[in-house]
Amino acid sequence: MIAKRLAQAALVVLVATPAVAFEPQNAECIAPANPGGGWDFTCRTVGRILDELDLVDGSVQVTNMTGAVGAVAFANVASKRADDPNLIVATSTVGITQIAQGRYPGDVDTMRWLGMLGADVGTLMVGKDAEYADANALLEAVKADPSSVVVGGSSAIGGWDHLRFLMLAQEAGVPADQLGDIRWVEFSGGGDAVTQMMGGHIDAVLTDIGEIGGFIESGDVKALAVMSDERLPAYPDIATATEQGIPATGYNWRGFYMGGDTSDEAYDGWVEILSDLYESEAWQEAAVSSGLTPIWRGGAEFEEFVRESEARTRDISKAIGVID
Amino acid sequence: MDILGYLLIGFSEALTPQNLALALIGCFVGTIVGALPGLGPVNGVAVLIPLAFSMDLPPGSALILLTCVYYGCMYGGRISSIMLNIPGDEPAMMTCLDGYPMAKNGKAPEALAISGIASFVGAFIATIGLMLFAPLLVRFAIHFGPAEYFALFVMAFATIGGITGANPAKTLIAATIGLALGAVGIDPQSGVPRFTFGSFHLFDGFHPIVALVGLFAISEVLIMLEMKAHERSQAIKVNRAFARWSDIKPTFPAMLRSSGVGFVAGVLPGAGASLGSFLAYTMEKRYSDKKGTFGKGDPRGVAAPEAGNNSAAGGALVPMLALGVPGSGTTAVLLALLISLNIQPGPLLFQNQPDIVWGLIASLFIANVVLLVLNLPLVGLFTRMLAIPLWALMPLVVMVSFVGIYSISNSSFDLLVMVSFGVVGFVLRKLDISLVPVVLGLLLCREMESALRRALSISGGDPWILVGSGISIGLYVATALFLVTAIVLSMRKRRAAKVSREVEDEYVGD
Amino acid sequence: MAQARWSDRIAGVIFLALAIWLYVEAGSYAVRFGDPAGPSFFPRLVAVPMGLLALVLILRPDADPTWFRWPQILSQAAMLAVLFGYPLAIEPLGFPLSTLIASALLAKILGATWLQALALGAGLGFGLFFLFDAVFGLPLPTGPLLG
């Protein structure tokens, strides 16, 4: 496989150098997770639309390379396919959080960051019969006794869902040395966490709105705050955390990276392809129907953004005590 | 009546010639994919989702095609369990215990027919349960919090000692081996890598299908090589080409009981079809194994796990559809499939898109009937599989397993792990240590540990949470009763041991 | 003649060592904040019964099995050599060629003639490659032959 890719890469460089614009051959998208997850969705949806709109030659091959929240795919690309111009890898804020906490074999400079196509938004919610009227009421209870509220989400301790709740708690005035007393419970998905809350096993959930929007619409849970800059068009009734005096935002964007040794030509070519994809009606529709807010950042701007958010996440993780 | 009306609409949409043809193709492909070790619903669906898109099928037809593949895989897993002692997928593991001995006794057609009918009964009862009680069942399932799940897993492992005739200490140690293997990889709660020796390849732990194929298939080939050529050719013979009704009829009560057990296990997200078939087998064995024939080719030992497995697969659709929470690996695949058809399962699905739900239920009924009709004549074909010489059959099975695993993980490391599991499986079999608990431990370790850790995270470390609800206390009491009766029965059995040992020797010695 | 009972004893010693290693190794996983049980609790919970059951095996062993038969052990060793070699060959040689060689050797070990073995190998090597790579669209390494 490696030999084949290298040979292909060499061939492409030899043959395609004089070509006017970059065009990927046998494009491949690695989803660093099992079929069905967010990264798999990103690869499959983008692959399908690229194919439908003929933005790439032929179809996009989706490869699932599961392991260690993306670290396996990251290591594989860094060591074996760093210069492959036809390969893109799905990632998100979750991946950047892993890098910031030193859980990937490498840092942001190991890869080239292509762009983001949309973002999910962290949402704080409680059971429909809970006594808390808004985010402040819940966070006041946490402040009074950090261990009195049990919160759950789809990430491990220190992961993005947990960090976002701690950011809210910190902004609401919970002292740093008491953040560790807040009871956090990890579930394998946002839907699991919400279901457990409906059963009365936990008190509150913080996770992305995309996966659990149905529970808010059906009235099974009460959303207290969204962690976005503005209210979401799909949920105009949910106040942002900032509006409630807790200035914290927490997006989970979806995007792509490629190997660190790829040519500028391939990099620019992919940024353009993804930008065209973002503009298409098909993507806007697919994104909204799966709960994402379409947002575009690409190329150098995106590289800058990734660097910034990595640094910020590392600072937050240190301040909160997730890493040393 | 509302339900009948909806169902009629569902059927009227589903029963077109094109859809029936798709159902037939889906069922056939699913059965074959399910029967081949190493290939499962993940492969089947990974292949068929792009196909459904490129054929531009309407959502209803795509749904029929893909549910047929899903149910077909559930049916198919049993075939290689019975014929080769190699389970086609994880839940079919329990069918090896009595299915392969039946085949060795010349009763392969009976075993295939009984397991096919049991699959039908299980899936049929589960579909009815789904249709009538889904909202009610969801309300029951959400009462299962982490502490209750932990009690359920404790029950599974406490009762594991009785599943084989061998030394219970060996069966239990096999379960601890499986649980230890399951702990390898990144700990989902804390993100700490455990027992990985720093290798990224191990960060995701051992994939159950890699362990299953290695332990069962590779070790089976090694055991087979131990026989001399003429012994091998006589290993399995077929007495009759087709099963007789009188062989099938006595297993019906077992099928009905097991369907109930399996369905309940399936409705609980996180338990899944493997636990369903396991509990169905252990319960049935405890209930009706009066003469110690289980594990030696008892037809009820084939009927129970297959009914349990298929009704659990149907039951798992309840939380998947009504909550959007996949209860097992296979329902996760089905969930991905619904999402790619632009159907979002969750609390609103039953209200907002009743046509989809009833269309799906109609497809499940159709899939089930088509599979039964397809599978009974195929019994003859599958028994003829034994006419293929072993030098061709075994390389085929091994290579398909390799390619199935490689095509999902793209990692030759996984293949090395699989062969290593084969060596371990061979050694364990020599020591008379059952492989079933090893795989079950590996499958359930993550869920069991997560349940315990989540419960303790909720209580802030207070262990009393584990016995804090009526459900968990009830499960622990049931486990205790099960163990007490098991010990009493084994003491009684020991008294009659001398007599039965003579009979056994005769039985095994053929 | 009394039967030898060494296999279970040796296995018991190995499992006991494994249980002790699990217990000790699990202790090295640091407990992070907000996680009362921590990553070491469950492995230790498994290691304890494993160790106790290993003692049962050592103290009350069953009779030894027949570990190998001569000359079948040669076939078994050859089979394992092929099975361990195959994953290492799949990427450098490509799927069709490595599968051809491996399945032909397996067939030969299982008692086929060379002609039968090669026919099966060619069928599986190219048939599975065609099925998975071309029909199902799941990419397999082609290797230098077809690349």
Give residue-wise pLDDT tens across range A272-299. Answer: 889 988 998 888 888 887 778 888 988 8
Tell me the residues of chain A between 299 and 318 that have a Cβ less than 8 Å away from chain B. none
Compare all CA atoms of chain A with the CA of C91 and give the residue at the minimum distance: A1
Nearest to B189 among A105, A147, A157 (CB): A157
Distance between CA atoms of residues A103 and A158, nearest Å: 11
pLDDT above 90 for B233: no
CB-based contact (8 Å) between A188 and chain B? yes
pLDDT tens-digit map of A132-172: 999 999 999 999 999 899 999 988 888 889 989 998 998 89
Residue B234: is its pLDDT beyond 90? no
**What is the value of ipTM here, to two decimals?**
0.94
* pLDDT for A4: 45
Cis peptide before C71 (omega within 30 of 0): yes
- Both structure tokens of A241: 């955390």
pLDDT at residue B23 greater than cutoff 60: yes
Residue A288 makes CB contacts below 8 A (sequence gap 6+) with A234, A294
How far is residue B15 CA from its own chain's centroid? 29
Chosen from B210, B454, B459, B472 to mutate, greatest number of chain A CBs within 10 A:
B454
- What pLDDT is attached to residue C31? 66
Q: CA C58, CA C10: separation in Å to the nearest integer? A: 8
> Which residues in chain A are contacts of C139 at CB distance < 8 A?
1, 28, 61, 63
- Which of C34, C139, C144 is closest, CB to CB, to A157? C34
Q: Contact B347/A214, CB-based, under 8 Å?
A: yes
Helix and strand element counts for chain C (H, E): 6, 0
Q: Quick check: B483 pLDDT over 70? A: yes
Residue B258 pLDDT: 94
Q: Is the pLDDT of residue A11 over 50?
A: no
Chain B residues whose beta carbon lies within 8 Å of the beta carbon of residue C86: 402, 415
Q: What is the C-alpha separation between A156 and C32, in angstroms, rounded? A: 11
Q: What is the pLDDT of residue B254?
A: 93
8 Å CB contact between B396 and B133:
no
Residues of B in contact with C116 (CB under 8 A): 391-392
Nearest CA in chain C to B446: C42
Report pLDDT for A13.
41
Whether residue C104 is predicted with pLDDT greater than 80 in this model: the reply is: yes
Cβ contact, residue pair A183, B193, below 8 Å: no
**Mean pLDDT, rounded, for C72-97:** 92
The beta-carbon contacts of A166-169 under 8 Å, at least 24 apart in sequence, are: A166/A316, A166/A320, A167/A248, A167/A250, A167/A316, A168/A124, A168/A135, A168/A139, A168/A206, A168/A225, A168/A227, A168/A241, A168/A246, A168/A248, A169/A139, A169/A142, A169/A143
**Which residues face B375 on adjacent strands?**
none
Test B406 with C80 for CB contact under 8 angstroms: no
Is A5 an 8 Å CB contact of chain B? no
| Residue B282 reports pLDDT greater than 50 | yes
User: Which residues of chain A does B48 touch, with a Cβ-Cβ cutoff of 8 Å?
Assistant: none
Return mean pLDDT, chain A.
84
β-bridge partners, A63: A30
Longest CA–CA separation in chain A, Å: 68
Find the closest chain B residue to A193 by CA distance: B325
Q: What is the pLDDT of residues B315-371, one digit of tens each?
A: 888 888 887 777 666 777 777 677 666 677 777 777 777 777 888 888 889 899 999
Tell me which residue in A1, A158, A322 faces C91 most closely, judged by beta carbons.
A1
The pLDDT of residue B38 is above 90: no
Q: Of A214-218, A280-284, C130-134, where does mean pLDDT reach its minimum?
A: C130-134
pLDDT of residue B389: 85
Q: What is the pLDDT of residues B54-101, one digit of tens each?
A: 677 777 788 888 888 888 888 888 888 898 888 888 888 899 999 999
Most confident stretch, A264-278, B225-239, B259-273: A264-278
Two tokens at B32?
A: 């074959």
Name which residue leads in pLDDT, C52 or B376.
Answer: C52
How many interchain CB pairs under 8 A, A with B? Answer: 124
Chains A–C, number of C-beta pairs less than 8 Å apart: 35
**Per-residue pLDDT tens over the stretch C37-79:** 888 999 999 999 999 999 999 998 988 888 888 888 899 999 9
Here the tokens at position A4 are 């084949």
Max CA separation in chain C (angstroms): 65
Query: Domains of chain A (ranges plus CATH)?
Result: 28-119+252-319 (3.40.190.150), 121-244 (3.40.190.10)
Q: What tokens were used for A7?
A: 């040979």
Reported confidence tier of residue B240, pLDDT bands at 50, 70, 90:
low
Q: What is the DSSP letter of C132?
A: I
pLDDT reading at A303 higher than 80: yes
Q: Indicate yes or no: CB of B453 within 8 angstroms of CB of C42.
A: yes
Give the residue from C29, C31, C32, C145 with the most A CB atoms within 10 Å of its CB, the best one to mutate: C32
Rounded to whole angstroms, what are the CA distances from B182 to B87, B92, B447?
Answer: 20, 20, 10
Q: Which residues have CB under 8 Å from C125's CB, separation 6+?
A: C95, C96, C97, C98, C99, C100, C103
**C4: how many CB neighbours lie within 10 A of its CB?**
10
Q: What is residue C47's predicted lDDT score, i.e. its pLDDT?
A: 95
Interface of A with C (CB under 8 A): 1-4, 7, 28, 59, 61, 63, 157-158, 180-184, 321-322
**β-pair partners for A223:** A125
Q: Tell me, what's the pLDDT at A14?
A: 41
Q: What are chain A's partners, defined as 3 or more CB pairs within 8 angstroms? A: B, C
For B459, which residue in chain C has the nearest alpha carbon?
C36
Give the three-class secondary structure for A114: strand
CB contact under 8 A, A4 and C35: no
Does the pLDDT of residue B498 top 60, yes or no?
A: no
Question: Nearest to residue A86, comparing CAs of A127, A26, A160?
Answer: A26
Q: Mutation target for C interface from B391, B415, B438, B466: give the one with most C CBs within 10 A.
A: B391
Find which of B413, B457, B471 to mutate to test the A interface (most A CBs within 10 Å of its CB). Answer: B457
C143 chain-A contacts, CB cut-off 8 A: 3-4
pLDDT tens readout for residues B185-209: 878 777 778 898 877 778 778 888 8
Has residue C2 got a pLDDT over 60?
no
* Among candidates A48, A158, A200 on the partner chain, residue whose Cβ is nearest the Cβ of B53: A48
Q: Select the residue of C32, C33, C91 nearest A3 (Cβ to Cβ).
A: C91
- Which of B195, B392, B431 minimises the CB distance to C8? B431
C92 chain-A contacts, CB cut-off 8 A: 3
**Which has more pLDDT, C34 or B369?**
B369
Q: What percent of chain B has pLDDT over 90?
A: 25
pLDDT tens-place string over residues B142-160:
888 899 989 988 988 888 8
Pairing mode, strands A150-153 and A183-186: parallel
Characterize the bridge pairing of strands B185-186 and B193-194: antiparallel
CA distance to partner chain B, nearest, from residue A192 (Å): 6
Q: Looking at beta carbons, which residues of chain A come within 8 Å of B204? A: 66-68, 72
pLDDT at B504 over 60: no
Residue of C nearest to A179 (CA): C34
Mean pLDDT of chain B: 83
The CA distance from A260 to A262, in Å, is 6
B190, B325, B449, B465: which to substitute to probe chain A, counting the most A Cβ within 10 Å? B325
Whether B165 shows a pLDDT value over 80: the answer reads no
Burial profile B345-369: b = 16 or more Cβ within 10 angstroms, e = fewer: bbbbbbeeeeebbbbbbbbbbbbbe
Q: Which residue among A36, A64, A66 sits closest to B332, beta carbon to beta carbon?
A: A36
pLDDT at B184 over 80: yes
For residue B196, give the chain C residue with the closest CA. C25
Segment among B325-339, B429-443, C91-105, C127-141 with least mean pLDDT: B325-339
**Residue A320: is its pLDDT beyond 80?**
no
Inter-residue contact A280 to A130 (CB < 8 Å): no
User: In this model, does residue B469 exceed pLDDT 50?
Assistant: yes
The percent of residues above 70 in pLDDT, for chain B, comes to 88
How far A213 CA lies from chain C's nearest CA (Å)?
28
Subunits next to C (3 or more Cβ pairs <8 Å) are: A, B
| B430–C22 CB contact, under 8 Å | no
Subunit contact C34:A61, Cβ cutoff 8 A: no
* Domain spans in chain C, listed from the N-terminal domain onward: 6-59, 72-146
pLDDT value at residue C43: 94
Contact (CB<8Å) A157/C143:
no
Closest CA to A165 of A126, A201, A131: A126
Residues B180, C124: C-beta atoms closer than 8 Å? no
The confidence score (pLDDT) of residue C120 equals: 96
Compare A178 and B496 and report the one with higher pLDDT.
A178
pLDDT digits (tens, 9 = 90+) for A53-104: 878 877 777 777 766 678 878 887 887 788 888 889 999 998 899 888 888 8
Q: How many CB atoms lie under 10 A from the CB of residue C146?
A: 14
Is residue B238 over pLDDT 80? no
Q: Which residues of C touch A (CB under 8 A)?
A: 32-35, 91-92, 94, 137, 139, 141-144, 147
Nearest residue in chain B measured CA to CA from C135:
B47
